[in-house]
Amino acid sequence: MSKLVPPHGGKGLQPLLLQGEERDGELTKAAILPKVPLTSRETSDLIMMGIGAFTPLDGFMSHDDWRRCCDDYRLASQSVFWPIPITLSADRALADSIAPGDEVALWDTETETIVGTMKVAEKYSIDKEHECKEIFRTTDPAHPGVQKVMAQGPVNLAGPVKALSESYYPEMFASIYQRPAEARRVFEERGWSTVAALQLRNPMHNSHAYLAWIAIEVCDGVYVHQLVGKLKPGDIPAEVRVKAIDALVNKYFRKERVVQGGYPMEMRYAGPREALLHAVFRQNYGCSHLIVGRDHAGVGDYYGPFDAQKIFNEIPPDALVLRPLAMDWTFYCYECGSMASMKTCPHENKAVIDENGAYKGGARLLLSGTLLRKLMSEGKPVPSEFSRPEVIAVLKEYYDSLEEKVEVKLHGKATGEAVKP
């Protein structure tokens, strides 16, 4: 009997990925079906359903599921908690050529391969602004998640799917790519029952490491779970982040207390709502807790720095088995001489670092992934208290190789301006 938390929905993992002869037969059939092109987000969602990470979803959402998800955090079809729509869109001409009951091939436009099939159960249109207001709390076209929703085709196609591929992820990220069943097997082999997931879309700086060490003190182990799907321009590519995180974890963590994993979802930058989605699929991976720190899954100044923690108190108590580990802003304090948080450190004045990375006074050196990317992109020195030299070496190699620099803009939560001590 497993000691791990049960998968979301209470009916076990439900992977939709076909293998062996069953997959070969479905691919043969799919070759003559009408092709529905997928965006990179839709492809990554299909793979997440395929590996069982989006259990208990069995396909792209119907209109009733979409509406209930937006408004009530639930699936109408199963009355199961679900915080973000998982939908597939098409242009009008293609949608008009497909009737409910038809089978279609799902075509990944990036790799130009068939990655799944779907039996179309429904065609419908949505109020895109409504989705954006509910999920992103904004309709600002500058928000990267809003951009993706507003760029969707005018018709959604719903129905159960069969996944036929995991794209390039298992090969490109062979050292960390994991399906939920594989992660659960590792946790069980170690005898773990409580596992804290650390969500990462940035290289692991010292604040991330500090949060992970705190989690290890109260759980059996920590699951350093990296997003390897697509990010917005200016973010560091997954293959570089994996190398940087490896350098830190392999030297500064006890190997028996940490597991690394990678998952193929694409960021939506939905802040609080996305934190809930992260919780759902981490429960499917076997995690009992999710570390939720400052501006979890946020972007810019669209969300309050701790909105992603507050939303866990607003959902029904039976929504999830997994629980959040709410963490305050952490930083290096020169007066304490160590990492600290706003709950523990009494020294409220900010540290001053000159353009050469030298310490000039003050206490708190506030750390953020955005600030790290900005310093590295501009070729400025990074204080040793910010991140380990092994991480900085990997990132410097990457930024030195760029022919064109991407401007990184700081927001209030990256500098500390948006957070009161």
The percentage of residues in the chain with a pLDDT greater than 70, rounded to a whole number, is 96
Q: Which residues of the chain have pLDDT under 50?
A: 414-415, 417-421
d(CA 267, CA 335): 37
The residue whose two tokens read 């006074």 is 361
Q: What's the pLDDT score for residue 275? A: 98
Q: Which residues pair with 199 in a beta bridge?
A: 225
Structure tokens at 293: 């720190």
List the beta bridge partners of residue 123: 157
Active site residue 202: yes
Dist CA 283 CA 4 (whole Å): 9
Place of tokens 């790799």: 111
In-domain check, residue 173: no
Catalytic residue among 201, 241, 294, 388: 201
Establish if 266 belongs to a structural domain: no
Name the pairing type of β-strands 330-333 and 338-341.
antiparallel
Predicted confidence at residue 412, as pLDDT, reads 52
Catalytic residue among 202, 241, 294, 373: 202
Question: What pLDDT digit, counting tens, does each position of 219-243 carry?
Answer: 999 999 999 998 887 788 889 999 9
148 inside domain: yes
- What is the DSSP track for 141-185? TTSHHHHHHHTS-SEEEEEEEEE---TTHHHHTTTTB--HHHHHH
Q: Which residue has the tokens 């990132």?
A: 395
> Which of 166, 185, 203 delimits the end of a domain?
166
Q: What are the structure tokens assigned to 133, written together?
A: 């207001």
Specify if 57 maps to a domain.
Answer: yes
Of 106, 133, 166, the domain-final residue? 166
Q: Evaluate whether residue 3 is within a structural domain.
A: no
Q: Is residue 318 part of a domain?
A: no
Domain boundary (131, 166, 201) is at 166
Identify the pLDDT of residue 414. 47
Q: What is the pTM of this model?
A: 0.94
At residue 418, the pLDDT reads: 46
Residue 110 lies in a domain: yes
The pLDDT value given to residue 375: 83
Q: How many structural domains are present in the chain?
A: 2
Handedness of CA 358, 360, 365, 370 (dihedral sign): negative
Structural domain including 382 reads 331-415
420: left (phi over 0), alpha (psi -120 to 50) or beta: beta
**Residue 87: strand pairing partners:** none
Is residue 23 flagged as an active site residue? no
Task: Using alpha carbons, select from 302, 187, 170 the residue that is nearest to residue 256.
Answer: 187
What span, in angstroms and rounded, lies between the C-alpha atoms of 84 and 137?
12
Does 286 fall in a domain?
no
Nearby residues of 317 by Cβ (< 8 Å), 6 or more positions away: none
